[in-house]
Amino acid sequence: MNDTRPDPDRLLAEVADEQRQTARGKLRIFFGACPGVGKTYAMLQALQQLQSEGRHVLLGVAETHGRAETARLLAGLPRLPLRELEYRGRVLRELDIDTVLAAGPDLVAVDELAHSNVEGSRHRKRWQDVEELLGAGIDVYTTLNVQHLESLNDIVGRITGVRVRETVPDHVFDQADDVLVVDLPADELLKRLADGKVYLPKVAECARGRFFRKGNLIALRELALRRAADRVDVQMRDYRRTRAIDAVWPNRERLLVGIAGNADDEGLVREAARLARKLEADWIAAHVDVPQQQAGVERQRTAQTLALAASLGAETVTLPATTDVASALVACARARNVNRIVLGLRPRQPWRFWHRSTADRIGGAHPGLGLVVMAASVDHERVARRPLSLSGIDWLPYGWATLACLVATVLASPLLRVFDLANVVMVFLLTVAIVALRWGRGPGAWAAFVAVACFDFSQYVFTFGLMLAVALIIGQLTARLRREARLAGARERRAVALAGLAHALSAALTAEQIEEVALRNLKACFQAGVGLALPDAEDRVRTARSNAISMDESIAQWVYDHAQAAGAGSDTLAAARARYLPLKAPMRVRGVLALEFAQEGALLEPDEQRLLEACCNQLALALERVHFVEVAQNTLVAIEGERMRNTLLSAMSHDLRTPLTTILGAAQAVAPQVRGQSVEALVVSIDEQAQAMLRLIENLLDLARLQSRGVELTRQWHSLEELLGIALRALREPLRTHPVTVDIPEGFPLLEMDATLIERVLVNLLDNAAKHTPGGTPIEVRVRHEGGNALIAVSDSGPGLPTVAVDKLFDPFERGRRESVVAGAGLGLALAHRIVRAHGGTIEARQRHPHGAVFVVTLPASAPPDVEAA
């Protein structure tokens, strides 16, 4: 029988995601095919409607582009001042995030989501500003054209011939709460363009001949509608999954995209992202680090392509080429349960007619593995215009290779008189191998040619031809061995660094020791200045005293609050000298790590970036471990202290109660005999203070008993009005200077409760009100029946609740204001809290306006028995 029940893990993940989304602001995108369809107009109309409904809305940025009908909608909307920044002699205005956060609106409108901010802004892109506003719980309305989506950027460029540089990652679009498509037919849009409603006349004429051709507009319109339809399809699939409606595929699709470091890899990644989205598949972008690859332009291009893939939602990996590219990709596919490999179509060079492509080798050796070969897009004109440059070649190793061959020739000349030619050839082969081992592949091949040229090869054509072939093979094999040894050494260095950091952190017992380990190990590992900032009790980051660099605490605080990287090499606060990284532990962010590199562009290789991420994870886990160790130790100390205190209080209370009862009985016996005499006031005072002391001791005894044995209730049906009368009579003396008002509905139903304990709750609440309010101020007791519960509210007109957390008022021995001169041990509210919770109710404290405090007790009120029938 098939189990169609929802997956519990998936349900938990969805609940956690819903909780995160609840605290996050809502994003609505007004989405269009091109400029002029009315996105900003529709956004401002929606903003006007929300303002008329009483919502607190603000207009952050609105670009009217001179359109009068759009400008008229700005009337009446509250606008925020923009931040002015100077850029190349001009003053430009950008959205001021801090002003928006300080205003705290329900919703803010921010036009042109793909806009690039002026240098010096907090973020490089406006969509990052919007992400921060959403994280602060502020709803955002914004606009976006289809050509600005990262995955469709190249397609729109091929359609229109215009490649825009301002793009938005697809995940921002996909994670929006609402996407409203603003659509307009091509003919109507062209008419608006001709009427000057899109651009000014001169600009409109130029746009009509390039971007605003009818064929372009139709294609862009279809592209925008299809992208919006894809989003709706994903929502439909999510709905089916969350309700366990017939899973469509038994196994999840997973793609592996091969990155070679070529110029067309960027287009291949975008095509793969679109394919993964259509298949709703996870995808991995893998680069095989082959020994033949140079460490210059190709490596930088590979890093940029992998970064693009990561921004489009891919997992990125770099694989060592132990054998060849095809075998490495297949091994990764099998290890990651990948069912399709995506490769780019590479034209075969005519002079390498014997060479089989990677796709051919994978398809021939592994026919059961899905293979997708894509003709990725590339700017061929730009590639054709790029001149062949030899300026990037390091010629010094070639000079040393030539010198080595000349030295070998000088040494071999006298040997020809003694040894045969075959023996002397070994000297040159050894020279070629040494050159390749020392300076790499290129100089090794050059040394093979120079070594052959140093002989009179006209007489020994076959011998020297064979020698050239052998020398080239030896040189290439030696160079490959050298490269693989270097890569193995780099991997070993990273593994040793990570293992050393983990070993050092395992012995750290305090946050200070973790700081010392981090500063020492990371400085040696990354050759950079290291700084660490940890949060205090109020979640304000504080830099470590032993930091090797000067950290900007404002940037560190932003990174800590938003759990995002910032500083050098990122898109946020990129002008900073150091790179700031959040230390993310499973429970929360535990601190901020800062690295200041001496060389620009450090950590370009993905392996180095993953090593840094692993080190950050190790630091975060160590800090979280130390935190929970401290919490456990404090908890044990608190438990032991509570146990000893309860034992002491119980013993003291029993010992104090006997003499106190004697004092109270003696005072009450003497009171009638001294009535009218001068000592009467003294006897009355003794009686009052003894009564107060007796209530305190009874609270001590009850609290100790409840903590040791728990609350044992004797539930019976009682009248709450009678219990209030008993409590008021018991507090005649403390309440004699306070007018007490009791408001209880006539015929209030009986409650099933422990009368003795609930009476103690009422006594403690009334006594608390009498102690903390000046004489002559009223005290009110109000009883109501709401929603199956009985609500008892005790209000006073005193100074109100203290500044400490309200929940702490119900802790034992908590008196709120430390400087208070009011007598008491802080036990009454703690005891009341335990008794009410044992009855299945709640008790809470609230501020009373304009002044005073209200304590509200909620008790379950089930239907009482029929007394007459009984």
Domain boundaries, the chain: 8-242, 254-374, 396-485, 509-631, 711-860
Residue 4: is its pLDDT beyond 60? no
- Which option is the CATH number for 8-242: 3.40.50.410, 3.40.50.300, 3.50.50.60, 1.10.287.130? 3.40.50.300
Distances (CA, A) of 28 to 35, 43, 62: 18, 9, 15
Express each pLDDT in 262-278 by its tens digit: 778 888 898 888 888 88
In contact, 447 and 475? CB cutoff 8 Å: yes
User: Which of 116-125, 355-364, 378-387 has the largest mean confidence?
Assistant: 116-125
Residue 428: is its pLDDT beyond 70? yes
In contact, 116 and 147? CB cutoff 8 Å: no
Q: Bigger pLDDT: 491 or 550?
A: 550
* Per-residue confidence (pLDDT) for residue 205, from 0 to 100: 62
Question: What fold does the segment set 509-631 form as a domain?
Answer: Beta-Lactamase (3.30.450)
* Euclidean distance between CA atoms 317 and 257, whole angstroms: 10
Q: Bigger pLDDT: 693 or 91?
A: 91
One DSSP character per residue, 591-656 reads EEEEEEESSTT-S-SHHHHHHHHHHHHHHHHHHHHHHHHHHHHHHHHHHHHHHHHHHHHHHHHHHH
Residue 824: is its pLDDT beyond 70? no
Whether the link from the prior residue into 850 is cis, omega within 30° of 0, is yes
Residue 698: is its pLDDT beyond 90? no
* Euclidean distance between CA atoms 326 and 312, whole angstroms: 25
Per CATH, 8-242 and 254-374 having the same topology is answered: yes
pLDDT bucket at 144, cuts 50 / 70 / 90: very high
CATH, range 254-374: 3.40.50.620
pLDDT bucket at 459, cuts 50 / 70 / 90: very low
Task: Work out the average pLDDT over 374-379.
Answer: 60
pLDDT bucket at 248, cuts 50 / 70 / 90: very low
In contact, 555 and 573? CB cutoff 8 Å: yes
Per-residue three-class SS string for 425-485:
HHHHHHHHHHHHHHHCHHHHHHHHHHHHHCCCCCCCHHHHHHHHHHHHHHHHHHHHHHHHH
Q: Is domain 711-860 in CATH 3.30.565.10, yes or no?
A: yes
Residue 458: is its pLDDT beyond 50? no
Which amino acid is present at 186?
A
pLDDT bucket at 627, cuts 50 / 70 / 90: confident
pLDDT bucket at 42, cuts 50 / 70 / 90: very high
Task: Work out the average pLDDT over 171-195.
Answer: 86
* Per-residue confidence (pLDDT) for residue 639, from 0 to 100: 77
